[in-house]
Structure formats: structure tokens, C-alpha cells
Amino acid sequence: MTAPENEKLEMLRHALATLAYRGGKAVRGAPEGFGKFQPGGTVRTPLRILAHIGDLLEWAQSLAKGPGTWRDGEGEAVDWESEVRRFFDRLEIFDRHLASGAPLAASPEKLFQGPVADALTHVGQIALLRRLAEAPIRGENYFVADIQKGKTGSEQSSPRKEFD
């Protein structure tokens, strides 16, 4: 792998750590019943959004290995805690694959612009739904957050600079 390719891969791994940090903040401490919160209309519940994120991360892993297969498991979402575990499990599996040095069947740019960026968008939706459900997460200066490449599990650093 050339130096520029390695830099792209390392940036993708940092993006996964960012997803773990921000996603962890959005799902941690959610009130009982939040997963089924329905703000109205055809808006997906937080549980369905979180299940979709898990599907995106599974798809990202399959794209990285090749040939890439989409599996819509949204209807299989059982409960909030299970989907939170799946979110972190899938992040860790994907990150380990990226760190392994195995050849990628898709470029880091494509992996970011597709499933990873989509997952970040959906984490933002969960954060917004927390506010609508009157259980907001605290704002944070993410620039100073302790986000480390390879740290994609549920154990994340404490916030350094939160605000209301």
C-alpha cells in the first residue's frame, strides 16, 4: 500500500472512531422506551434507525471484503440494547478488517461516502429524536474530543468540553 493510500485508510479508521464516539453519545443513557419513540407520520423510530446503521456497517464490511451485499435487517430489530451492542460490534469488526492490512475491494473514499457518511447522518437523526423525546444529549465541542483511531467499542472517552 502506498503512503497516500495508507493515509486514506487511516482517515477512514478515524472516521469510524468518530462514528463510535458520536454514536455512543447519541445512544447512551436513552430513556426507557426511547427506541419506540414515534414523533409522527412516517418517521422511523430510533430503534429502526439504529438497526439501519447496523445494516450499513455490515454492508461496509462486505464492500471492503468484496463483492458487497446489502442485507436489510431492519425488520429484525428486537430491542434498543441489542441494537446498541450490534452497532459497536459491527464498528469493531469493520475497523479490525481495515487495520488487518487485507486488500480492500472498495476504496476508502467510496466506503466513507456511502455507508460511513450515511451512518453519521443517521446518528444525527437519533440525536435529534432524543431532543424531540425530551431526553436531549448535551452539546459538545467535538474538535477537542478524545477520539482515537481504533477505539470503536462502547467504551469511549469522557467528553472534554460539553455545553448546554
Percent of the chain with pLDDT over 70: 99
| Exposed/middle/buried for residue 59 (C-beta within 10 Å: 0-12, 13-18, 19+) | buried
Q: What's the pLDDT tens digit per position in 61-70? A: 999 999 898 9
User: What are 121-160's pLDDT values in tens digits?
Assistant: 999 999 999 999 999 999 999 999 999 999 999 999 999 9
**What are the grid coordinates assigned to 56, written together?**
450499513
- At 118, the pLDDT band (50, 70, 90 cuts) reads very high
Taking 70 as the threshold, does the pLDDT of residue 20 lie above it?
Answer: yes
Q: How confident is the model at residue 78 (pLDDT cuts 50, 70, 90)?
A: confident
Angle at CA of residue 128, ends 127 and 130, nearest 5°: 65
Judged against a pLDDT cut of 70, whether residue 75 lies above it is answered with no
pLDDT of residue 11: 98
Q: What is the pLDDT of residue 164?
A: 78
Q: What is the DSSP letter of 163?
A: E
The domains located in the chain, with CATH, are: 3-163 (1.20.120.450)
pLDDT of residue 59: 97
Confidence at residue 74, expressed as pLDDT on a 0 to 100 scale: 63
- Strand extents, DSSP E, the chain: 139-140, 162-163
146: which residues sit within 8 A by CB, 6+ positions away? 157, 158, 160
**For 164, what's the count of Cα atoms within 13 Å in the CB-facing half-sphere?**
0
Joined grid coordinates for residue 137: 444529549
Q: Please give the pLDDT value at position 3.
A: 82
**Residues 124 and 84: beta-carbon distance below 8 Å:** no
The pLDDT, as a whole number, for residue 33 is 96
pLDDT, tens digit, 9 for 90 and up, residues 50-59: 999 999 999 9
Flag whether pLDDT at 85 surpasses 90: yes
Distance CA 113, CA 108 (A): 9
**Average pLDDT over the chain, rounded to whole?**
94
